[in-house]
């Protein structure tokens, strides 16, 4: 009998599969398809201090081996998440969930995390540092090591729950950003977020996305994600959550061998609502095929 359990920042998961923020809502809509308690956990929709409508439409475009999105952090705000969404999650999901948090200043990150830190349903914070720092000239937190250090440290000083920082791949050297987060006290890192991409409507000679560019995700970025997880795993000592184009149990194994303790499934959930369930159910078969008794044995196994 194979063992699929892993430990992420002090919390044991039945398996390493976590649907990624932005692709799973607040979890409960997927209950119509299957019992979501099969999941290791899930990262709920990116949450900000205040309600946000998001970017103008169209903001999603299908493309080769994936999709481009520019949603713009549409969410009801942290107060509504606490009062409306978390009570529903509590009824349908019996495990800890990951709170994906965004902000446009250090103060916003801290405020939102402080509110969610009081909620028993939350197991970890996942800081989305791809937002522009409105107090720092508009540069995204995640592309400057000083900014990413400051926001990570401020949140760590303000909360009790583990803090995982979600790294952007749109940088010169992701290892520098990873080390800055570790130095600031981050409990873990998740990577990679979307790669910037663009799709043009050749009949109209205009970008398909209203904002012209957006985040490219899906199967096409998997090799890039594996490479970055491998590099970061050899740079820091804190656990990693790998993501980017994972769509099979074999992909999970490969990502864990690169150095990930757990994985997030993103675009695959939008293509097939059963994707995460099917990957979890197929994991034992793949483990037996490659003579893997315990998933913890293969974390970082690729030298």
Model pLDDT, residue 281: 98
Whether residue 72 is preceded by a cis peptide bond, meaning omega within 30 degrees of 0, is no
Pick the CATH number of 23-31+40-239 from 3.30.2130.10, 3.30.470.20, 3.20.20.70, 1.10.510.10: 3.20.20.70
Model pLDDT, residue 247: 97
Model pLDDT, residue 139: 60
Model pLDDT, residue 135: 63
Active-site annotation holder among 9, 131, 181, 194: 131
Model pLDDT, residue 200: 97
Residue 185: CB atoms within 10 Å: 14
Model pLDDT, residue 101: 97
Strand blocks (E) in 93-239: 97-101, 122-128, 163-166, 188-191, 195-198, 200-201, 206-207, 213-217
> What dihedral angle (degrees, nearest 10) is formed by the CA atoms of 228, 230, 232, 233?
160
Output the pTM of the full model: 0.96
User: If you ran DSSP here, which 8-state letter would residue 50 be given?
Assistant: S
Per-residue model confidence as pLDDT tens for the chain (303 residues): 899 999 999 999 999 999 999 999 999 999 999 999 999 999 999 999 999 998 999 999 999 999 999 998 999 999 999 999 999 999 999 999 999 999 999 999 999 999 999 999 999 999 999 865 556 555 688 899 999 999 999 999 999 999 999 999 999 999 999 999 999 999 999 999 999 999 999 999 999 999 999 999 999 999 999 999 999 999 999 999 999 999 999 999 999 999 999 999 999 999 999 999 999 999 999 999 999 999 999 999 998
* 131 is annotated as an active-site residue: yes
Model pLDDT, residue 136: 57
Model pLDDT, residue 14: 98
| In the chain, domain spans | 23-31+40-239
Asked if 107 and 82 count as a contact pair (C-beta separation under 8 A), the reply is: no
Alpha-carbon gap, residue 113 to 155, rounded angstroms: 7
Closest CA to 260 of 41, 13, 6, 22: 6
């Amino acid at each position: 009998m194979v063992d699929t359990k892993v430990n992420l920042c002090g919390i044991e998961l039945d398996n390493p599969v976590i649907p990624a923020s932005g692709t799973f809502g607040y979890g409960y809509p997927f209950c119509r398809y299957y019992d979501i308690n099969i999941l290791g956990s899930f990262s709920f929709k990116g949450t900000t201090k205040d309600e946000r409508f998001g970017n103008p439409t169209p903001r999603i475009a299908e493309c080769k081996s994936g999709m481009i999105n520019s949603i713009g952090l549409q969410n009801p705000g942290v107060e509504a998440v606490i009062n409306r969404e978390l009570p529903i999650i509590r009824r349908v999901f019996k495990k800890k969930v990951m709170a994906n948090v965004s902000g446009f200043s250090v103060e916003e990150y801290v405020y939102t995390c402080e509110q969610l830190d009081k909620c028993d349903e939350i197991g970890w914070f996942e800081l989305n540092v791809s937002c522009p720092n409105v107090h720092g000239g508009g540069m995204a937190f995640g592309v400057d090591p000083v900014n990413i250090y400051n926001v990570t440290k401020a949140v760590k000083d303000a909360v009790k729950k583990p803090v995982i920082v979600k790294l952007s791949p749109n940088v010169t050297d992701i290892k520098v950003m990873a080390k800055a987060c570790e130095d600031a006290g981050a409990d873990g890192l998740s990577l990679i977020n979307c790669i910037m991409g663009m799709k043009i409507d050749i009949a109209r000679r205009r970008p398909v996305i209203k904002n012209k560019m957006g985040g490219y995700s899906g199967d096409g970025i998997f090799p890039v994600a594996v490479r970055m997880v491998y590099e970061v795993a050899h740079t820091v000592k804190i656990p990693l959550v790998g993501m980017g184009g994972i769509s099979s149990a074999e992909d999970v194994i490969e990502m864990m061998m690169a150095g990930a303790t757990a994985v997030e499934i993103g675009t695959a959930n939008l293509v097939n609502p059963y994707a995460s369930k099917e990957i979890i159910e197929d994991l034992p078969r793949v483990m037996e095929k490659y003579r893997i008794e315990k998933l913890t044995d293969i974390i970082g196994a690729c030298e």
